[in-house]
A and B are shown apart, each in its own frame.
Chain A
Amino acid sequence: MEDLVGRLSALDPDAGAAIKVIAYFDRLVEGRAGLEPVVRGAAVLTGCAARLVDADRGVAIRVDATGAVHPSDDPPDPAWLSAPLHPGGPPALWLERTGPAGPVEAMVLERALSAARGALARTRGPAPADDVAAVLDAAVAEPARLRAARRLGLGLAARALALEGGRAKVLAADQAVEVARAGVGPVVPVADLPSSWAAARTALRFAAAGTEQDPGPSVVHADQLGGLAVLAEAVGPGAEPVPDVQDLERARSTAPWALATLVAVATTSSLRTAAATLVVHHSTLQDRLAHVEELLGWSVRDPSGRLRLQLAIALRRLHNHH
Chain B
Amino acid sequence: MTTTESDSTRVGPPPPFDPELAAALEAMPELPTSLTPDLIPSLREGYNSRDATNEELRRGGAFEVSERPVPGPHGDIPVLILKPAAATGLVGAIYYIHGGGMITGTNRGADSTKAYDLAQELGLAVVSVDYRLAPEHPHPVPVDECYAGLVWTVEHADELGIDPERIVIAGASAGGGLAAATTLMARDRGAPALAAQLLFCPMLDDRNESLSARQMAGLGVWDRTSNDTGWTALLGAERGGPDVSPYAAPARESDLSGLPPTYLDVGSAETFRDEVVAYASAIWAAGGNAELHVWPGGFHGFEMLAPESDLSHAAAGPRIPWLRRVLGI
Given contacts A4-B24, A27-B26, contact A36 B310 (CB under 8 A): yes
Q: Is A32 an interface residue (CB 8 A)?
A: yes
Tell whether, in the assembled complex, residue B308 and residue A44 are in contact, meaning their CB atoms are under 8 Å apart.
yes
- The verdict on B61 contacting chain A, using a C-beta distance below 8 Å, is no
Contact B23 A28 (CB under 8 A): yes
What residues on B are CB-neighbors of A28 within 8 Å? 19-20, 22-23
Q: A30: which B residues are within 8 A, CB to CB?
A: 19, 22
Per-residue contact bits, chain A 30-47, to B (CB 8 Å; 1 contact, 0 not): 111100110011011100
Q: How many A-B residue pairs have CB under 8 A?
A: 80
> Digit string of B245-287 for contact with A (CB within 8 Å is 1, else 0)?
0000000000000000000000000000000000000000000
Nearest residue (CB) in A for B309 is: A67
Interface core residue of B16, B28, B313 (most chain A CB under 10 Å): B28
For B50, list chain A residues within 8 Å (CB): 3
Which A residues are CB-close (under 8 A) to B25? 27
Write out the residue numbers on chain B whose beta carbons fall within 8 Å of the beta carbon of A206.
none
A31 to B17, CA, bound (A): 8
Q: Give A21-66 interface residues, CB cut-off 8 Å to B.
A: 21, 23-28, 30-33, 36-37, 40-41, 43-45, 65-66
Contact B27 A4 (CB under 8 A): yes
- CB of A1 within 8 Å of the partner chain: yes
One of A2, A23, A36 near B27 (C-beta < 8 A): A23
- Which residues of the partner chain B approach A66 to less than 8 Å between Cβ atoms? 307-308
B contact residues around A31 at 8 Å (CB): 16-20, 22-23
Q: Decide yes or no: A1 and B17 within 8 Å by CB, A24-B26, A28-B23 being known contacts.
A: no
Within the assembled complex, what's the spacing in Å between the Cα atoms of A145 and B121? 56
Q: Convert B37-62 into 0s and 1s, putting 1 for each residue whose CB lies closer than 8 angstroms to a CB of A.
A: 00000000000001000000000000
Interface SS of A by simple majority? helix
**Docked pose: A30 CA to B23 CA in angstroms:** 9
Closest to A45 in B: B27
Is there an interface contact between A3 and B305, defined as CB atoms closer than 8 Å? Answer: yes
Q: Which of A25, A65, A67, A68 interacts with B23 by CB under 8 Å?
A: A25
A251 to chain B, nearest CB (A): 66
Q: A33 — nearest CB in chain B belongs to which residue?
A: B19
Which one, B17, B28, B110, B308, contacts A40 given CB within 8 A?
B308
Do B310 and A37 touch across chains, with their CB atoms under 8 A apart?
A: yes
Q: Which of B16, B20, B22, B25 has the most CB of A within 10 A?
A: B20
Give the contact-size bracket for chain A. Answer: 20 to 34
Across-interface contacts of A36 in B (CB, < 8 A): 310
Closest to A67 in B: B308
Question: A221-265, CB under 8 A of B: which get 1 and which 0?
Answer: 000000000000000000000000000000000000000000000
In the assembled complex, the CB of A111 is this many whole angstroms from the nearest CB of chain B, namely 11
With most chain B CB atoms within 10 A of its CB, the pick from A3, A21, A25, A66 is A3
A67 touches B16 (CB 8 A): no
* Chain A CB within 8 A of B312 CB: yes
Whether A67 pairs with B307 at a CB distance below 8 angstroms is yes
Which residues from A are CB-within-8-Å of B22? 27-28, 30-31
Interface string of B293-319 (1 = CB under 8 A from A): 000000000000111111011000000
Name the B residues within 8 Å of A4 (CB-CB). 24, 27-28, 306
Contacting pair B312 A67 (CB below 8 A): yes
The smallest C-beta distance from A108 to any residue of chain B, in angstroms, reads 12
Query: Which residues on A are within 8 Å of B, measured CB to CB?
Result: 1-4, 7-8, 20-21, 23-28, 30-33, 36-37, 40-41, 43-45, 65-68
16 contacts across the A-B interface (CB closer than 8 A): A2-B307, A3-B305, A4-B28, A7-B30, A20-B27, A21-B27, A24-B24, A24-B26, A27-B23, A28-B23, A31-B22, A31-B23, A37-B310, A40-B20, A65-B308, A67-B313
Interface contacts beyond A28-B23, A41-B23, A67-B307: sample of 15 additional A-B pairs, CB < 8 Å, sorted by A = A1-B305, A3-B305, A4-B27, A20-B27, A23-B27, A24-B27, A27-B19, A27-B23, A28-B20, A31-B16, A33-B19, A33-B23, A45-B27, A65-B308, A66-B307
